[in-house]
């Protein structure tokens, strides 16, 4: 963990990890006998579900809960569905967990092959959602989509992750192919590549426009890339896509290339695993593999009260079970020893101003957090720039009173969005 330097006059500079030179080939995790798939939808007991316990599925089958569901998950293996249970996802979102007992030799669903040539965005969204890197295909397929520019990002999402950099280094020769495929899929010709400065010298990028991103953690955030490199200032409460820029992970682009080359969806995800001693191992695992399989194979221990961090140390999420499956956007798993977990306190803000000075979005965090603590979310949004926050997590990182500021901010945003959705539903229902 990065600590405050002894001389605390200057604010801490958090640097993203860069990929090591000569990275080793990732270790392959074999397909386990049980797989778990997560579907972002709520289970509705009043309707008949399309997937049932005991159903046999083939590799490549799309599993939806209901006829009109837009959410689906593609089965990465053939097998039998053993359980379907609702679970609570991040920020309380409803998620359905489907477990499969793998049964090889069932053949595969080859439906996508019929749509693979010529590539078009609708069929991609219909068949390729949830391939490694989780490309926002549905959003791009939406007729109301305002995206004018695509940024293929080899810059990782959080400090300790190097997965995107690894994939870019390994597959850079097919980047041109990927960019062409994206152009054909989306019809958007303005495609740029964002990558760490140190990688810009890999001479494989030809005439493509490169955005060289510094190692500084805040510079790697999509909103900051937009502001500093594309000259577009993100507006409060609007996503990058709303502003016309779509970020796609480099891994997703290569997965698209592979999917169209093989005419079938791909499921192998590269993940960096960092153990308690900070040692990084890269693995290649099939989406849906429970993470305890990976830990067992690598001999990584996760003990009582440790923390399993998915993503990175500043923006990630923590898992409560080792049966959490590998997800399309899971670039990194970090095991944090119980002793290294920093405390959270109930102390009030002492107005030291560390958060205000470190905030890349210049949010008056010291005032904002007072309103959020008092549940005054609307005032927080109106007067104290709640929605300007780009969720980097630095305010909580430097908070001298150890207030979970980032959590308050997420909570505030979620509560306001819920209210907004309720008003919309009410208005629709007349």
Site for another protein in 290-349 (CB under 8 A): 302-309, 311, 313-323, 334, 336, 338, 341-344, 346-349
Nearer to another protein, 122 or 142 (CB): 142
Nearer to another protein, 159 or 248 (CB): 159
Q: Per CB under 8 A, does 12 bind another protein?
A: yes
Nearer to another protein, 58 or 139 (CB): 139
Nearer to another protein, 261 or 320 (CB): 320
- Interacting stretch for another protein, rule CB under 8 A, among 169-177, 207-215, 273-281, 404-412? 404-412
Residue selected from 372, 388, 412, 413 as contacting another protein according to rule CB under 8 A = 388
- List binders of another protein among 239-258 (CB under 8 A): 242-244
Residue selected from 26, 211, 385, 413 as contacting another protein according to rule CB under 8 A = 385
Cα–Cα distance, 129 to 207 (Å, whole number) = 29
Residue selected from 43, 95, 401, 416 as contacting another protein according to rule CB under 8 A = 401
Cα-to-chain-centroid distance, residue 216: 20
The residues pairing with 285 across neighbouring beta strands, listed in sequence order, are 269
Residue selected from 363, 372, 380, 381 as contacting another protein according to rule CB under 8 A = 363
- Work out how close the CB of 125 gets to another protein at its nearest, in angstroms, rounded to a whole number: 25
CA torsion through residues 221, 225, 228, 231, sign: negative
Q: Element (H or E) spanning 152, and its range?
A: strand 149-153
Please give the order of strands across the beta sheet that includes 27-28: 27-28, 280-286, 268-274, 332-336, 307-310, 317-319
- List binders of another protein among 88-107 (CB under 8 A): none
- Interacting stretch for another protein, rule CB under 8 A, among 61-69, 103-111, 171-179, 394-402? 394-402
Q: Per CB under 8 A, does 414 bind another protein?
A: no
- Interacting stretch for another protein, rule CB under 8 A, among 102-110, 199-207, 229-237, 250-258? 229-237
- Work out how close the CB of 164 gets to another protein at its nearest, in angstroms, rounded to a whole number: 19
Please give the order of strands across the beta sheet that includes 149-153: 209-213, 191-196, 149-153, 245-249
Q: Element (H or E) spanning 153, and its range?
A: strand 149-153
Q: Per CB under 8 A, does 33 bind another protein?
A: no
Write each residue from 171 to 210 as x if it is in contact with another protein (CB under 8 A), else as -, in one continuous string. Answer: ----------------------------------------
Contact 267, 325 (CB under 8 A): no
Q: Per CB under 8 A, does 9 bind another protein?
A: yes
- Interacting stretch for another protein, rule CB under 8 A, among 127-135, 207-215, 395-403, 418-426? 395-403
Q: Rounded to the nearest 10 degrees, what angle do helices 175-186 and 250-262 cross at?
A: 80
Helix spans in 106-249 (H): 111-115, 121-127, 137-141, 163-171, 175-186, 222-229
Cα–Cα distance, 173 to 284 (Å, whole number) = 20
Phi, psi dihedral angles at 149 (to 5 degrees): -140, 135
Task: Supply 264's token pair.
Answer: 């079938």
Task: Supply 255's token pair.
Answer: 């997965």
Measure Cα distances from 240 to 64, 156, 311 in Å. 28, 17, 20
Residue 259 CB burial class (10 angstroms; 0-12, 13-18, ≥19): buried
Nearer to another protein, 191 or 243 (CB): 243
Longest CA–CA span in the chain (Å) reads 64
Nearer to another protein, 346 or 429 (CB): 346
Residue selected from 13, 238, 279, 418 as contacting another protein according to rule CB under 8 A = 238
CA torsion through residues 337, 15, 224, 229, sign: negative
Nearer to another protein, 66 or 323 (CB): 323
Q: Per CB under 8 A, does 221 bind another protein?
A: no
Q: Rounded to the nearest 10 degrees, what angle do helices 163-171 and 250-262 cross at?
A: 50
- Interacting stretch for another protein, rule CB under 8 A, among 127-135, 172-180, 374-382, 397-405? 397-405
Nearer to another protein, 33 or 107 (CB): 33
- Work out how close the CB of 83 gets to another protein at its nearest, in angstroms, rounded to a whole number: 11
- Coil/strand/helix, residue 376: coil
Nearer to another protein, 115 or 323 (CB): 323
- Work out how close the CB of 317 gets to another protein at its nearest, in angstroms, rounded to a whole number: 7
Q: Rounded to the nearest 10 degrees, what angle do helices 405-429 and 365-373 cross at?
A: 60
Q: Per CB under 8 A, does 410 bind another protein?
A: yes
Q: Per CB under 8 A, does 398 bind another protein?
A: yes
């Amino acid at each position: 963990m990065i600590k405050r330097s002894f001389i605390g006059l200057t604010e801490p500079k958090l640097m993203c990890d860069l990929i090591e030179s000569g990275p080793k080939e990732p270790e392959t995790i074999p397909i386990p006998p049980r797989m778990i798939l997560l579907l972002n939808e709520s289970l509705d007991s009043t309707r008949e579900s399309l997937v049932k316990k005991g159903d046999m599925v083939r590799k490549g089958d799309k599993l939806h809960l209901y006829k009109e569901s837009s959410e689906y998950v593609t089965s990465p293996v053939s097998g039998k569905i053993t359980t379907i249970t609702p679970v609570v996802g991040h920020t309380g979102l409803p998620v359905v967990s489907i477990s499969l007992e793998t049964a090889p030799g069932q053949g595969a669903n080859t439906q996508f092959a019929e749509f693979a040539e010529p590539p078009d965005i609708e069929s991609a969204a219909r068949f390729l959602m949830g391939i490694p890197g989780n490309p926002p295909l549905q959003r791009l397929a939406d007729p109301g989509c305002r995206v004018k520019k695509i940024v293929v990002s080899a810059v990782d999402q959080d400090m300790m992750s190097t997965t995107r950099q690894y994939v870019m280094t390994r597959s850079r020769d097919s980047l041109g192919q990927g960019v062409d495929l994206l152009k054909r899929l989306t019809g958007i010709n303005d495609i740029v590549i964002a990558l760490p400065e140190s990688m810009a010298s890999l001479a494989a990028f030809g005439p493509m426009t490169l955005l060289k991103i510094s190692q500084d953690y805040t510079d790697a955030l999509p909103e900051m890339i937009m502001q500093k490199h594309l000259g577009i200032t993100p507006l409060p409460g609007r996503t990058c896509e709303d502003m016309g820029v779509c970020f796609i992970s480099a891994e997703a682009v290569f997965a698209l290339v592979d999917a169209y080359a093989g005419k079938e969806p791909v499921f192998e995800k590269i993940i960096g695993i960092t153990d308690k001693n900070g040692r990084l191992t890269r693995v290649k695992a099939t989406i849906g593999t429970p993470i305890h399989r990976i830990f067992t194979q690598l001999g990584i221990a996760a003990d009582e009260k440790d923390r399993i961090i998915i993503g990175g140390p500043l923006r990630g999420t923590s898992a409560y079970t080792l049966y959490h499956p590998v997800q399309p956007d899971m670039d990194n798993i970090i095991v944090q020893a119980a002793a290294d977990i920093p405390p959270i306190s109930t102390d009030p803000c002492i107005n030291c101003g560390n958060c205000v000075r470190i905030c890349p979005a210049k949010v008056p965090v010291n005032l904002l957090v007072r309103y959020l603590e008092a549940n005054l979310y609307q005032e927080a949004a109106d007067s104290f720039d709640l929605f300007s926050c780009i969720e980097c997590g630095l305010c909580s990182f430097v908070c001298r009173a150890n207030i979970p500021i980032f959590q308050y901010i997420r909570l505030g945003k979620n509560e306001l969005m819920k209210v907004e959705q309720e008003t919309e539903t009410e208005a629709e229902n007349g």
